[in-house]
Amino acid sequence: MCGFVCCVNLKENLNSKKDVLISMNETLKKRGPDECGYYISDHALLGHRRLVVIDPDGGKQPMTFNYNGNKYVIAYNGQIYNTKELKENLKQNNILLEGYCDTEVLLKSYILYKEEVVHKLNGIFAFAIWDENNQSLFLARDHFGVKPLFYTIFNNTLVFASEVKALLKYPGIEPILDEQGISELFGIGPAHTNGITAFKNIYELKPANYMVYNKSGIHIKRYWKLKSKPHEDSFEQTCDKVQYLLEDAIKSQLASDVPLCTFLSGGLDSSIITLYAADHCKDNNLPTLDTYSVDYIDNDKNFQKTDFQPNSDNYYINLMQAKLNTNHHTVMLDTPELAKALEDAMIARDFPGMADVDSSLLLFCKNVKPEATVTLTGECADEIFGGYPWFFREDALNSGTFPWSIAINERQTLLRPEISKKINLKEYIDYRYNESLDNVEILDTDSKETAEKRKISHLTLNWFMQTLLDRSDRMGMYNGFEIRVPFCDYRLAEYVWNIPWEIKALNGREKGLLRYIMKDKLPDEIVDRKKSPYPKTWNPTYLKAVKQMLSKIMEDKNAPINNLLNRDYIMQILETEGKAFTRPWFGQLMTGPQLMAYLCQVNMWLEKYQPKIEI
C-alpha cells in the first residue's frame, strides 16, 4: 500500500518540474512512510511513497523494466491477491521474475497483456504504467474503487495522484468550488458522485475504469460492471458457492511480510473474517492471530439502545475471542482526542467527511499501527448481502431518494439564503439518484421484490459503500496502515448480485443467507445478532466538546463557514444541540453531535484549502 503522483506532457519537456514532483510526493508521506522514489524523463515524471508490505527489497518504486528494447515504468498503490496465478502465466510465456512482489508481477503482466491486464486482476489497486518508447500512459483502478486515483489537466499536462492534496501542490492548479461542488458537499456529502470531486476540474478515475493517454488524447473505458442474469443454482449449490468464494477471498488476502491482524467487533461480518483468519494461522503454524476492537471511555455507562444500534459489542467480542483464542486488544478512545482528530480526518479525506465516525477510525488505526501494518475488516458485507435497515423499511424504500440521506429540506435550509436561491439541492440529488437508477438492469424473470432490491442494492453499492471505502482507505493510509476488505471481492459480489432476494434475505432477516451459511461455524449469539453499526461514543462529554468547538467558530462572524452556510440555522442547531436538524445528516449515526462535528469540519476545510467560490 502506497501513494503516487505523476505528470505527463507529450508536447513539452518536464525536466524542470522535478522539484514540483518532489513537493507533490511529499504530501503523500503518510500513505507511504517507508520509502520514496522517482522516475524522471522528458515527458513523464513519476513519484512514489511506499508502505512496505510484501518483498521489502524487491518492491521498490517506481519500478522500471526493459523488454524487447522498450522501457516500461510503474507507480502502483494496492495489493494483487491472485499473484500466484499471474506468476504462472508469466512463466508460461517465458517472462522471468527477479523478486516476489506483486508490483513486478503487475508490471510484467501489463507488458504481456497490455490493456487486457485489468481482466486478469483480482485485488485492490490504482496504478500508472508509462511506456517510454511509445510515449503512452496507462492508468487503472480496481473494480470497486478501494484504492483512489485523482486527476486533472492543466496547461496540456495530465497530473494525477492518490490524493487531491497532491494535485493542489502543482503550480496553477487551484481549489475552485462551483455550483456542482456545493451541491456535492451539501446535497450528496459526505458521499460523492463517482468520477468527480467537489473541486471544479478535478476528477477521479471511476472504479472499474482504465485510461489510456497518448498522442491521440485521453481514452477512458469501463472494463467491468455487475451484470444481471438469471440465478440457476439450487439453494445448496448457492450456499456452497458463497462459502467457497468468501473463504477464498479471505485467505487470499492474508498474504503479508509484516504483522497482520483483524478488526473484531463481535458482529457477524468481522467474526466471519476473524474465524477464517484464525483458522489459517493455526493450519499454517503461524503466530496466534491478533484482533482489535475500539471502544470509548464511559461508553458502558452511557450506551442507549436504538433501532439502529440495539446493543454494544463487548459481550460478543469476548465470545469470539474465547472461541478462537486470539490475542485480543481493545483500543480505548477519549472524548478530547476524538474531537481533536476531526481536523486530521478532514485532511485525510481532503473534504469534510463522516465526522467522528471518521476520526475514531483514524485514531483506531493510529493505535494499532505500532503493532501491525495490515488488517482485514468486515466492511462491505452489508452492501453485498443486504444488511442495512433501508433494505427492509418501507419509509426508506419509498423515500424516492438515497435512503441514508433523506434530510433534503434540512440540507437546503443549511445553505446561506443567497446561495440557496441559486442552488436547488433537491434537483441535483434527484438528478444523481435517477441517473444512477437508469443503470440498473432488471430482468423479466426477477420477482417484484428482487427487482426492487436490485435498485436499492445498486444505490448502496455505488454510493454508500463508496463512502465507507473512501473512509477506510484515507483513515488507514493516513497512518501508513493498510485495510483490506474481503467482502468486496468482485467475484463474490458478482455471484451474490444475482441471488434472488428471497434467498439473500432468508427467513426475512438482513443477511439471512450469510447467517444460514455460518450457522454451524459461529456461536448462535453471533449468527443471530442484529446488525449493529460501527461503534460511536455515547459519552455526553463529546456533545459538549463539539458544541464548544462549533460555538467558538460561530463567535467569529468572519469564519469562512458563514460564506456558504446559514448562520441563523447553525445557531438554532447549537441552541437545540442538534435537534433543530430533525433527521440524521447521513446514514444512521450522524445525528446531533455528529452534525455539529461535521459543521466544524466544513469550517476547518474552508480554512485549510481556501477554495475559490464561483457561483
Active-site residue list? 2
d(CA 380, CA 466): 9
d(CA 519, CA 212): 47
Whether 2 contacts 50, CB under 8 Å: yes
Place of cell 445557531: 571
Phi, psi of 601 (to 5 degrees): -65, -40
Q: Among the residues of 27-121, which ranges form H helices?
A: 83-92, 102-113
Phi, psi of 566 (to 5 degrees): -80, 105
d(CA 232, CA 359): 44
Place of cell 483490506: 484
C-alpha cell at 72: 516500461
Phi, psi of 382 (to 5 degrees): -65, -35
Which stretches of 334-396 are assigned E, i.e. beta strand?
Answer: 374-376
Per DSSP, the residues of 176-224 read EEEHHHHHIIIIITTS--TTB-SSTT-EEPPTTEEEEEETTEEEEEE--
CA distances from 489 to 35, 81, 221, 231, 417 (A): 29, 10, 21, 19, 45
Place of cell 476540474: 201
Residues in the chain: 615
Q: Please, which residues have CB within 8 angstroms of residue 353's CB and are 6 or more apart in sequence?
A: 190, 345, 346, 470, 471, 474, 598, 601
Q: Which residues on adjacent β-strands are paired with residue 377?
A: none
Place of cell 449469539: 525
139 closest CA partner among 241, 55, 44, 68 = 44
Instruction: Output the furthest CA–CA distance in the chain (Å, rounded).
Output: 71
Phi, psi of 597 (to 5 degrees): -65, -40
d(CA 346, CA 325): 37
C-alpha cell at 200: 471544479
Per DSSP, the residues of 485-522 read -GGG-HHHHHHHHTS-HHHHTGGG-TTHHHHHHTTTTS
Phi, psi of 14 (to 5 degrees): -105, 5
d(CA 615, CA 610): 15
d(CA 351, CA 192): 10
Q: What is the DSSP secondary structure assignment for residue 461, as one 8-state letter?
A: I
d(CA 414, CA 534): 27
